[in-house]
Amino acid sequence: MNPPRDALQAHNKPETTPATHTLRLILGDQLNPQHSWFASVQPGVVYVLMEVRQETDYVLHHAQKIIAIFAAMRALARQLQAAGHRVHYLCIDHPANRQNLADNLQALMAYYQPQRLEYQEPDEYRVDLNLQTLLASSPYRSSVSSSRVDSEHFYTQRHEVAEFFAGRQQWLMERFYRHMRTRHRVLMDSHGAPAGGQWNFDQENRKPWKGAPPEPADMRPLHDHSALWAGIQAAGVRSMGEPCADRFRWPLHRQEALQQLDHFIAHALPHFGDYQDAMSRKAWRLFHSLLSFALNVKMLNPREVVERVEADWRCGRTPLAAAEGFIRQILGWREYVRGIYWAQMPGYDQHNYFGDTTPLPAWFWTGHTRMNCLAAAIGGSLHNAHAHHIQRLMVIGNFALLAGLDVQALHRWYLGVYIDAFEWVELPNTLGMSQFADGGLLATKPYVGSAAYIDRMSDYCKGCAYDRKQRLGDTACPFNALYWDFHQRNATLLQHNPRIGMAYRQLEKMPAAERTAITTQAQAVRARLNHL
Ligand code: FAD
Ligand code: DLZ
Ligand code: SF4
């Protein structure tokens, strides 16, 4: 076995100093240059980053996600080297790359003969298990000690949410969020009460967008990653979606992410609350931050984002409802879903409460459907590697649940398509919040709606091939029959849920003939999913 050579060909010198006592692994979503690891240069420490098929191939990823992660990993490697750290970088096409974390680490241990191997707590169960298995079985385990350190990113430790909810059947995000606000003194007044006398301004935050105020300009950085993309393709990595490699718009490093945060706070945050649930064909970003990639790969820390937003409200630039609505997403939802993930894994990914098994229609990979809302949400996802929350939840997820699509296949699609998708955050959102596949641990009721909801919150229905008002017939909006049929099909599982009593009362009032017609219409829709 040849020792792996240093492989960031363009800007990495071959490793010549063998006196290495510690290898430190940095994963592709651990790109935080402010981690305490880097506080001082230690000549005996080598930092290891590797582009591997194990991580590109565990689901079919969006091309932009692969480019963004590799480009950002390379940028951090350069930054560390410029600061004097020793870095061993394995590019995807390097001949010595064994294409998985364990084999590469074994080879690196043989080459450097370190006494220690250190890694930051991985955010994904699969990778955590992979590393633990390697370290337990490695031939080096008697000579190499290993330790897992904190990634220094989240507010909470992995099992804090489970401890907070211990003994409770339902894990209500709102309870956890109030606890986080109090504990971290975020948006609190001097008496320990929530700022403005309210925890939640959701009632003020549900407006459709009619074209004004205008969507802020897209000030994200612009990069040409054509060469990197050519290398990824040459290595045989499969992908979905549009690479947009020559006009690439995701941040590569912390400085670019901070500029994006500044721009968001100055131009979009004041309107975030009002329009956080709105959708429009004319504006795919609206007033969202698009910071999820930078946050999830840890270029940005959630605390600094929350502090900046709170400061903007305190100096009177941003309304409290907007600041609270945004902070709730990060201090509340983001930490909460991570806690659900670690409390429920392994096994959470196997839940399928409604027993749904229908394969995803082919247009999940093309966006070509006559349903305007899905063409915009899926087409946009394939073009941008991003969709905002309500598109993910109330258009794509809503349709999937109503149509009875295979939950695990849907989970893999979401995990692959979005630039910000990592299992710890994607799985609870998809399987729990959007598909109710855990039977209601995370959501108090299934998030489903008919065309009326989509029409109220978007401009998609105008000009759609389908009629939003019709339930029956060839041109009736598919959401309508599917919505009622979903409730009928799953009555034994859902009808006792007090939060959806209204839907069942409406169904009871419907003439039997109409209910039968809805069932027939929904069956016809489900039989031609690929052709909708
Ligand atoms: P903004 O609207 O500007 O919100 C600000 C930040 O709040 C986000 O960057 C994100 O860090 C956080 N946030 C908002 N909502 C959530 C949430 N529900 N859970 C966790 N954090 C949240 N988010 C991901 O980061 N990765 C995923 O893989 C992911 N998958 C999702 C799948 C489904 C089915 C649904 C319904 C939601 C998913 N979300 C996911 C949550 C949310 O859609 C994205 O965080 C958001 O769209 C990212 O865009 P943004 O940065 O412009 O967010
Ligand atoms: C998502 C991803 C991809 C596509 N490629 C790599 C890679 O080549 N090397 C790497 O270290 N990380 C990659 N990642 C991110 C990992 O999947 C992520 O670090 C784990 O899932 C842990 O959350
Ligand atoms: Fe979507 Fe139905 Fe509206 Fe068309 S009519 S955009 S399919 S909700």
Per-residue pLDDT of the chain (532 residues; tens, 9 = 90+): 333 344 333 334 445 565 899 999 999 999 999 999 999 999 999 999 999 999 999 999 999 999 999 999 999 999 999 999 999 999 999 999 999 999 999 999 999 999 999 999 999 999 999 999 988 886 767 778 999 999 999 999 999 999 999 999 889 999 999 999 999 999 999 999 999 999 998 777 789 999 999 999 999 999 999 999 999 999 999 999 999 999 999 999 999 999 999 999 999 999 999 999 999 999 999 999 999 999 999 999 999 999 999 999 999 999 999 999 999 999 999 999 999 999 999 999 999 999 999 999 999 999 999 999 999 999 999 999 999 999 999 999 999 999 999 999 999 999 999 999 999 999 999 999 999 999 998 899 999 999 999 999 999 999 999 999 999 999 999 999 999 999 999 999 999 998 998 999 999 999 999 999 999 999 999 999 999 9
Exposure on the CB side of residue 444, measured as CA atoms within 13 A: 8
Cα 298–Cα 325–Cα 414 angle in degrees, nearest 5: 50
- Give dist(CA 431, CA 424) in Å, integer: 11
Please report the atom of ligand 3 found closest to the CA of residue 479: 2
Tokens read off for 198 = 């309210």
Residue 58 CA: which ligand is closest?
A: 2
Whole-number pLDDT of residue 2 = 34
Identify the residue whose C-alpha is closest to ligand 3 atom 8. Answer: 451
Whole-number pLDDT of residue 17 = 61
Choice from 31, 58, 60, 69 to test ligand 2 binding pocket (greatest atom count within 8 A of CB): 69
Q: Give Cα separations from 210 to 207, 267, 321, 334, 394 (angstroms).
A: 9, 18, 20, 29, 19
Ligand 2 contacts CB of residue 422 (under 6 A): yes
Q: Alpha helix locations (H) across 184-319?
A: 226-234, 254-263, 269-275, 292-296, 302-314
Strand ranges (DSSP E) for 19-163?
A: 22-25, 45-50, 86-90, 116-120, 145-149
Whole-number pLDDT of residue 5 = 42
Centre of ligand 2 to C-alpha 423, Å, is 11
Cα dihedral value 108, 112, 115, 116, nearest 10: -40
Whole-number pLDDT of residue 16 = 57
For 265, which DSSP code?
A: I
Whole-number pLDDT of residue 135 = 87
Residue 297 CA: which ligand is closest?
A: 2
Ligand 1 contacts CB of residue 432 (under 6 A): no
Whole-number pLDDT of residue 493 = 96
Identify the residue whose C-alpha is closest to ligand 3 atom 2. Answer: 477
Ligand 1 contacts CB of residue 392 (under 6 A): yes
Please report the atom of ligand 3 found closest to the CA of residue 454: 8
Please report the atom of ligand 3 found closest to the CA of residue 480: 2
Whole-number pLDDT of residue 201 = 87
Ligand 3 contacts CB of residue 454 (under 6 A): yes
Identify the residue whose C-alpha is closest to ligand 2 atom 10. Answer: 28
Residue 302 CA: which ligand is closest?
A: 1
Whole-number pLDDT of residue 142 = 75
**SS3 of 155, please?**
coil
Ligand 1 contacts CB of residue 338 (under 6 A): no
